[in-house]
Amino acid sequence: MDVVKLKPAVKDYIWGGNKLFKWGKFSSKPVIAESWELSFHPDGLSLIDGGNYDGLPLKEVASKEDLGNRINDFPFFPLLVKLIDAKENLSIQVHPSDDYALKNEGSFGKTEMWYVLEAEENAGLYVGFKKDENINDVEKSLKDGTLLEKLNFFKVKKGDMYFIEAGTIHAIGKGVTLIEIQQSSNLTYRLYDYDRVDKNGHKRELHIDKALNVINLKKYNPIIFSNNVLAECKYFISSLGDSSMKELRAFADSFITFTVIEGEGKVNDIDCKKGDTFFIPANKKAEFKGVFSFIYSRI
């Protein structure tokens, strides 16, 4: 297959807003919380937008050769790329490691990275504990409502990045729009959800016992990568790029996916603008015209 533009699956979770409409996303619902840009996950498949395969799930069209040699190292397709708009705070949560998740849930765990696209004044992210904790104190804080006091709250601005390994307690705060690049998993253990109720008047399920089984109690130390690399782990490597590169070439080991975060132009004569996501099959290349920047990832 050739380079294709993707059409995302959108989610209307209770904490979502309307900023992703400005990023070119569409929904019949009044809010878009998440836009699953590149997804092979059954909870929300991304589709091909235009061309010979218009409307078909990328998962059904892309061959093993299109995905590249490294796909053989993983039991499942390893990557999921999302745009997220948090009008309200997300739940305080933690994701398990692969070992725990595969044993107990039949799923990948979840390591992820966040790159901030927009942030309202004083908006921020909860990431990790301020200091080393013990499980008894964390349980006590859940009972007396003081868990947030134990967490780092980082005020953020456009361009900030946080790498969040499995086991790290975290949450996106209200007023933040970001791109999340993660393992292909929809597995979340909620510790605290502000006593909110859903559209049916029910509190969302918490998973305190499971979360406490997998949580990293050590003080959080931010991980910073060098050059244009935003994040690198066994599941993906993500970097910043722009159209001055003239082209982006995928080699035999992996496909590349990229999401435009500023500007507009053309990708192999396909129009592109802020919010558009593309898939470059292994051994293929995307040629750029115009002025735009993007975040690109491969496995």
Q: What is the DSSP string of 182-223?
A: EES----EEEE-TT-B-TTS-BPPP-HHHHHHH---SBP---
DSSP result, 114-154: EEEEEE-TT-EEEEEESS---HHHHHHHHHHT-GGGGEEEE
> Which H helix or E strand runs over 295?
strand 285-298
pLDDT grade for 76, boundaries at 50, 70 and 90: confident
- Give the residue carrying structure tokens 């059954």: 42
- Of the chain, the end-to-end C-alpha distance in Å amounts to 19
16 phi and psi angles, rounded to 5 deg: -75, 165
Q: How far is CA 138 from CA 86, 96, 109, 132, 149, in A?
A: 25, 17, 22, 11, 11
Q: Provide the pLDDT for residue 261.
A: 98
pLDDT digits (tens, 9 = 90+) for 151-205: 999 999 999 999 999 999 999 999 999 999 999 999 999 999 998 887 788 888 9
Q: Percentage of the chain with pLDDT > 70?
A: 100
Task: Give CA–CA dist 58/247, Å, rounded.
Answer: 22
> Same topology for domains 4-230 and 238-298, yes or no?
yes
Q: What's the token pair of residue 75?
A: 């039991």
Q: Please state the length of the chain.
A: 299
- Which residues have a Cβ under 8 Å from the Cβ of 215 and sit 6 or more positions away? 94, 135, 138, 167, 169
Q: Provide the pLDDT for residue 106.
A: 87
* Other CB atoms within 10 A of residue 29 CB: 10
Domain ranges of the chain: 4-230, 238-298
Q: How many helices (H) and strands (E) does the chain have?
A: 5, 20
Active-site annotation holds for 190: yes
Task: Give CA–CA dist 125/218, Å, rounded.
Answer: 18
pLDDT grade for 75, boundaries at 50, 70 and 90: confident
Please state the rounded mean pLDDT for residues 134-144: 96
Strands, sheet with 161-164, edge to edge from the N-terminal-most edge strand: 9-11, 34-38, 79-86, 176-183, 112-119, 161-164
Average pLDDT value for the chain: 96
Closest CA to 217 of 162, 288, 144, 135: 135
Q: Which residues, listed in sequence order, are joined to residue 10 by a DSSP beta bridge?
A: 35
Fold topology of 4-230: Jelly Rolls (2.60.120)
Does the domain at residues 238-298 carry the CATH identifier 3.90.1150.10? no
Selected catalytic residue, list 70, 190, 249, 298? 190
Q: Provide the pLDDT for residue 163.
A: 97
